[in-house]
């Protein structure tokens, strides 16, 4: 796939008001990402797919196309990669989820590098025993070649991920904000380890804060 197509997906991904379900309808309507991105606001209005808020967001972002294309290149240089659903770097498992994102951002290893994965997710306000148990589970999973996936939250999530990477295994942190935004800040040491020894992944654009609506 051409870099131009990836950049077009990247631009579309920055329009937060247009989510996966709407994107699917737009692609069905136009047939292709390149055809879609050439449409004017008036042409999109005629499709009756976008509401007024979405149309305003589309119109506001279009003058920024050139800036976003340059941003795509800069992010790649700094190791913040983007993979559209058309890319070989897009996580294959995500394609099986209804309403999957049409683009993801990641730092570190490509998510497709991990043949076997398991999620460890739990309470932020866990007990000491719960934290120890999550860490032990993460450790044992890593010892049999399973990558631990979690949200890098305080409590069970982080404990499971620490258990995996401290045992020499791999872990993926799925964030509710941009991959360049460590959340929560208390987990900066974990964030840095995941960048170098695992992966950070998000469907949100770089720079996006960890908003409550993104945790779904």
What is the pTM for the complete model shown?
A: 0.91
**Residues 43-67, mean pLDDT to the nearest whole number:** 93
Amino acid 212: pLDDT: 62
Q: What is the pLDDT of residue 66?
A: 92
Average pLDDT on 75-87 reads 95
Which residue has better confidence, 99 or 142? 142
The proportion of the chain whose per-residue pLDDT surpasses 70, expressed as a percent, equals: 97
Q: Do 104 and 82 meet the contact criterion of CB atoms below 8 Å apart?
A: yes
Nearest CA to 2 out of 80, 97, 99, 84 is that of 84
**Distance, first Cα to last Cα, the chain:** 30
Q: How far apart are CA 142 and CA 134, in angstroms?
A: 12
Please give the mean pLDDT across all residues of the chain.
93
Distance (Å, whole) CA 167 – CA 139: 6
pLDDT tens column, 165-197: 999 999 999 999 999 999 999 999 999 999 999
Q: What is the three-class DSSP state of 166?
A: helix
**Section 71-75 average pLDDT:** 95
Three-state SS at 37:
helix
């Amino acid at each position: 796939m051409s870099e131009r197509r990836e950049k077009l997906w990247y631009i579309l991904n920055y329009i937060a008001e247009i989510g996966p379900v709407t994107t699917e309808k737009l692609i069905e309507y136009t047939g292709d990402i390149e055809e879609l991105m050439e449409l004017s606001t008036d042409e999109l209005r005629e499709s009756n797919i976008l509401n007024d808020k979405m149309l305003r967001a589309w119109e506001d972002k279009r003058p920024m196309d050139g800036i976003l294309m340059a941003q795509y290149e800069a992010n790649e240089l700094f190791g913040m990669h983007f993979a559209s659903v058309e890319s070989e770097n897009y996580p294959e498992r995500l394609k099986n989820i209804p309403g999957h994102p049409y683009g993801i951002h990641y730092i570190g290893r490509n998510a497709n590098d991990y043949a076997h994965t398991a999620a460890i997710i739990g309470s932020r306000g866990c007990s000491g025993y719960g934290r120890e148990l999550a860490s032990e589970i993460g450790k044992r999973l890593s010892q049999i070649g399973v990558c631990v996936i979690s949200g890098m939250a305080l409590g069970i999530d982080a404990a499971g991920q620490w258990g995996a990477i401290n045992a020499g295994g791999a872990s993926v942190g799925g964030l509710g904000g941009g991959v360049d935004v460590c959340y929560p800040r208390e987990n900066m040491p974990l964030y840095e380890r995941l960048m170098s020894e695992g992966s950070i992944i998000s469907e949100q654009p770089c720079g996006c804060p960890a908003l409550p609506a993104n945790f779904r």
